[in-house]
């Protein structure tokens, strides 16, 4: 059997396993998916330093196709309601407020009439959110920001990043990823966040954020709803984080007719501090980045989401394995 046929056979068997599971375990189930960016170039999205947080147009369409075969892609409001449908309900969420939501995501979802939810750090600042991992790796990758990134890392006393010895190719991308992983294991998160915050003000990043006009336009189209992205690593009485969150919600109430009463968290490990911050800002629910299906009745504050990476989106087998592997019956 040719290799391609074997691969297709595996995929079909996994799809069969998924459909078989629908007869009982997934009856009445719901889940929320967390995505970040959809770039206009599949090869660029597949690069090692981006694969954990970027999709390309092909992998995004593959994700939607795989889901549509065996699930219902619905609004966030619908996914939080109890139901008895045979097919599970799935909601799409995008964290960060990147402009490619308008350029890449919107046309595809509008063509398929599928809803989505976008969570923004602060609507009128026109600065999208990214983790320090993403801000540093992207700054090192881009020719126009690499020198600044090298200088800021040196000023902070951090290890020297890899140097471009030829083209900016997959090998260099992997070197960046390895460097970021090493920093994650050995350096202070506060220092890394401070360096990333400075790099995030570069024009090459601020120009890629959704602007107020685009937010209004997307919401008026009827398929997109917007909510606030909670500040990272909050403590129970973090006055600055609370002020930022309240300001974000106020701006959304001015920009949008129906802002979401739900926020999304960027921290990997949600805790009581996150719940207290949400309560102080009158937020009903917080979407975390902890994997899992919604457990009925959906009456908890912190809700799980499945984080979708490029390898998962691009492979039906990996997607189904990721979803079914977190199913607790």
Domains assigned to the chain = 14-128+210-324 (3.20.20.370), 140-204 (no CATH)
Q: Could you tell me what percent of the chain has a pLDDT over 70?
A: 86
Phi then psi for residue 116, to 5 deg, are -155, 165
**Cβ proximity of 232 and 95 under 8 Å:** no
pLDDT in tens, 60-118: 999 999 999 889 999 999 999 988 888 999 999 999 899 999 999 999 999 999 999 99
Mean pLDDT of all residues in 285-306: 87
Whether residue 58 has pLDDT greater than 50: yes
Whether residue 260 has pLDDT greater than 90: yes
**Cβ proximity of 118 and 99 under 8 Å:** no
Strands 116-120 and 89-95: parallel
Rounded to a whole number of angstroms, the distance between the first and last alpha carbons of the chain is: 37
Q: What is the distance between the alpha carbons of residues 269 and 248, in angstroms, rounded to a whole number?
A: 22
Q: What is the distance between the alpha carbons of residues 237 and 228, in angstroms, rounded to a whole number?
A: 19
Question: Which is more confident, 93 or 196?
Answer: 93
Residue 30's contacts (CB-CB under 8 Å, 6 or more residues apart) are 79, 80, 83, 88, 89, 90, 91, 293, 294, 298
3-state helix, strand and coil shares in percent for the chain, rounded to the nearest 5? 50, 15, 40
Tokens at 196, concatenated: 């990333």
Angle at 212 between CA 209 and CA 218, to 5 degrees: 90
Whether residue 19 has pLDDT greater than 70: no
pLDDT confidence of 161, banded at 50, 70, 90? very high
């Amino acid at each position: 059997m040719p290799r391609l046929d074997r691969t297709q056979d595996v995929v079909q068997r996994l799809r069969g396993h998924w459909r078989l599971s629908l007869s009982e375990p997934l009856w009445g189930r719901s889940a929320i998916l967390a995505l970040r960016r959809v770039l206009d170039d599949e090869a660029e999205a597949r690069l090692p330093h981006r694969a954990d947080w970027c999709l390309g147009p092909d992998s995004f369409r593959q994700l939607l196709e795989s889901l549509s075969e065996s699930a219902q892609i619905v609004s966030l409001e619908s996914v939080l309601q109890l139901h008895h449908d045979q097919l599970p309900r799935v909601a799409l969420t995008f964290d960060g407020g990147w402009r490619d939501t308008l350029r890449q995501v919107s046309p595809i979802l509008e063509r398929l009439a599928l809803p989505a939810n976008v969570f923004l750090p602060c609507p009128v600042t026109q600065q999208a959110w990214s983790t320090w991992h993403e801000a540093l790796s992207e700054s090192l990758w881009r020719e126009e920001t690499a020198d600044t990134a090298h200088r800021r890392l040196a000023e902070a006393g951090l290890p020297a990043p890899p140097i471009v010895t030829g083209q900016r190719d997959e090998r260099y991308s992997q070197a960046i990823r390895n460097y970021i992983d090493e920093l994650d294991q050995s350096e202070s998160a506060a220092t890394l966040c401070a360096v990333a915050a400075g790099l995030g003000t570069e024009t090459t990043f601020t120009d890629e954020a959704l602007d107020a006009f685009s937010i209004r336009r997307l919401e008026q189209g009827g398929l997109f709803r917007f909510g606030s992205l909670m500040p990272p690593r909050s403590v129970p009485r973090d006055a600055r984080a609370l002020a930022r969150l309240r300001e974000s919600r106020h701006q959304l109430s001015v920009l949008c007719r129906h802002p979401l009463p739900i926020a999304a968290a960027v921290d990997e490990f949600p805790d009581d501090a996150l719940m207290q911050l949400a309560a102080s800002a009158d937020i009903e629910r917080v979407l975390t980045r902890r994997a899992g299906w919604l457990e009925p009745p959906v009456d908890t504050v912190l809700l799980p989401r499945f984080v979708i990476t490029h390898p998962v989106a691009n492979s039906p087998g990996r997607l189904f394995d990721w979803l079914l592997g977190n199913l607790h019956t």
